[in-house]
Amino acid sequence: MLNASFWQFAAILAIAFVFTWLLVPQSIRFSQKNNIMAAPNLRSIHTIPVPTAGGLSFGLVIIQMQMTLGWLNINNEFGISLIKLGAISLLVLALGLFDDKYHSRVRYKLLGQILIALLMFYAGYRVTYLTNPLGSHFQLGWVSLPITVLWFLMTMNAINLIDGSDGLAAGITCIVSIVLAISGMLSHNPLVLALTAILLGTNLAFLRYNFYPAKIFMGDTGSLLIGLNIAAISTAGNTTFKGITTMTMMVPVIALAIPFIDTVLAIFRRIGKGSIFRADKAHLHHYLLKLGLSQTTIALITYFITCLFGLAAIGFSFSSKKVLFSLVVFLMAVLIMLAYYIIHRGQKQ
């Protein structure tokens, strides 16, 4: 018989799905009424204006459910952690909506993200150790603060940058949420289970409207919020529930292989062009489009690769970590070489 935690997970997921499904049409109308639209430009791949405050539809649900579950469990650390995350998520949602409306300069967005990461650290969502697949974990000590800030910055921007083609960010989020949920079940971590259920339910509903041809984009309103929550979930295994080793940094790092590689390539590419703040149209999905692949095909290929890495991440709880680490390193190397090949071919088009 399935245990109670599974049914609680399923119930939270279903509630998140239904409310998001109902709110997406409202977000479309809100975006149109307030002119929060993604107009076609040199960097975009769409040809008509598209509503871009889609993050409101699932962001409001995520925050409301975090707050509600938090107040229902206010007398324990589980509830307090949810309320803290809900409050900071509300701030991120507001900052993302402001950027979608007024298009803030990148350096100001980065400063805001650093402040958010610091708030998360002092709220208790910290990277306290790094996974060592070949032995015991590395305890970080005072280095925990800068590593935590870097982790939140990387994850928020990875989701933000990959959100350049219909269905990419929402689909990857669904797969990563499933991987993290399995890790949460294996480690009996109710905080991880609650957060992944909310994230999975909301993004499944949003994907119905965001898959090609997208009726609405999540914008910074949604992508930054998703990145924040994935980063928070990955640290929840070593904050409120000490001693859990299955929920490590290795899980999201592996599952988010494609967004992270794309982000690292973007950083080096922009440094080479003189400014890390200069946006471009040279992400992996842009080159795949140049090679003639459709947005649907790109999304499905990305989902498949993310699933493979997700299975490898789950495998760390069942098999030899040394063997799986070797496999992951091999897959990462293949993916990086494939990325360079795609970029090289795309630049010739």
The band of 23, judged by pLDDT with boundaries at 50, 70 and 90, is very high
Please give the pLDDT value at position 243: 35
Instruction: Tell me the C-alpha distance between 6 and 65, whole Å.
Output: 17
Q: Which amino acid is at 172?
A: I
Average pLDDT estimate for 138-163: 88
The band of 237, judged by pLDDT with boundaries at 50, 70 and 90, is low
Please give the pLDDT value at position 195: 93
More confident residue, 125 or 5: 125
What's the whole-model pTM score? 0.89
The band of 241, judged by pLDDT with boundaries at 50, 70 and 90, is very low
Counting the structural domains of the chain, the total is 1
pLDDT digits (tens, 9 = 90+) for 58-104: 999 999 999 999 999 998 888 999 999 999 999 999 999 999 998 88
Give the closest residue to 180 by CA, choosing from 126, 249, 129, 121: 249
Give me the sign of the Cα torsion angle 81, 92, 253, 20: positive
Give the closest residue to 48 by CA, choosing from 37, 36, 35, 34: 37
Helix 144-162 with 219-235: angle, nearest 10 deg: 140
Instruction: Tell me the C-alpha distance between 167 and 48, whole Å.
Output: 17
pLDDT digits (tens, 9 = 90+) for 152-191: 999 999 898 888 889 999 999 999 999 888 888 877 788 8
Please give the pLDDT value at position 208: 94
CA angle 143, 148, 151 (to 5 degrees): 125
pLDDT digits (tens, 9 = 90+) for 290-327: 888 889 998 999 999 888 888 887 776 666 667 767 77
Mark residue 16 as left, alpha or beta (left: phi above 0; alpha: psi -120 to 50; beta: remaining). alpha
| pLDDT over 90 percentage in the chain | 44
**Range(s) of the domain holding residue 261:** 4-348
